[in-house]
Amino acid sequence: MLSRLNNAEVRVWLTRTNARPINELLALLEPTLSDSERARLGKILSPRRRKEYLMARALMRHALGSEHQEVWETLRFYETGARPEISSARKDIEFSLSHSRQLLCMAIGGSPVGIDCEWRGRKFRPELNEYLNSADDRAVLARLGQLAEDEHPVFSWCLREAWYKASAQHQKTAAAAIPLRRILDSGWQFQIFRISNHFGVIAAQQKFKVEALYCSPFRYELSLNTLEHDRIDHDKIVEATRP
């Protein structure tokens, strides 16, 4: 049985989109999908994206069912246009979801949390590169000193996305347009993680420790000791963001 999360803990659940065959997923999930989930699934024509959608819903049910100590079939999710909402969950748990290629990540915490993962070789559109490779961002990242230079663009994107997901209720501006200096100096806490060929960032309101679990939804879960993660030190942020 999983321990109850407190405000200083984040549990990261990971799976792969190929962890279960799509026919198995449909058979398991179909009776539990809400009308809004069925409507969204019906609009997805790409077989790959359909599988990603179904596996994400499987991961949410598996992880939140485990966290809530509830039978996953009883959980009901509703599409809202952004993060799905859950009707039968404890109100003291927050969650965030991200996927990149075949990797799916879900962060669950006792207070607002955001997660974003990206393939390390991702190429960004030219208009995004203007933000992700600005002179000010490059200066901040060089001072921070915890990243290889070729990780700067993907880190810049992941940090913005994780922070935006965690704090979106307070934000009106698109994440890409917000200066990296402002985000790092916002008082939020960040941890970097690397797994396989992916890179990611977790954002939370206060210092937190990370526990990671790999799962094949509705089959098993086990501790994952290979999630390399590293907290961004506050003193380094102060130094990196000074004028």
> In one letter, which amino acid is 149?
E
In a domain, 149, yes or no: yes
Q: Evaluate whether residue 46 is within a structural domain.
A: yes
Partners of 194 in the β-ladder: 199, 228
In this structure, is residue 79 part of a structural domain?
A: yes
The predicted structure's pLDDT at residue 239: 58
**Whole-number Cα distances in Å, 179 to 31, 44, 141, 163, 186:** 44, 34, 12, 12, 11
Residue 25 has pLDDT above 90, yes or no: no
Q: What's the pLDDT score for residue 177? A: 75
Helix %, strand %, coil % for the chain, to 5?
40, 25, 35
Lowest pLDDT segment from 14-23, 66-75, 139-148, 193-202:
66-75
Over range 226-238, report the average pLDDT. Answer: 56
* Residue 49 lies inside a defined structural domain of this protein: yes
CATH code (residue 198): 3.90.470.20
**240, pLDDT greater than 60:** no
Domain range enclosing 19: 9-241
CB 116 within 8 A of CB 98: yes
Q: Is residue 54 part of a domain?
A: yes
Rounded to two decimals, what is the model's pTM? 0.85
Q: Is residue 4 part of a domain?
A: no
Count how many domains the chain has: 1
Asked, for residue 193, whether it belongs to a domain, the answer is yes
Residue 60 lies in a domain: yes
DSSP structural state of residue 186? S
pLDDT tens, position by position, 155-190: 889 999 999 889 875 555 677 778 888 888 888 999
Tell me: the pLDDT tens digits for 132-147?
888 888 888 888 777 7
Strands 9-16 and 103-109 come out as antiparallel
Mode of pairing for the β-strands spanning 9-16 and 209-216? parallel
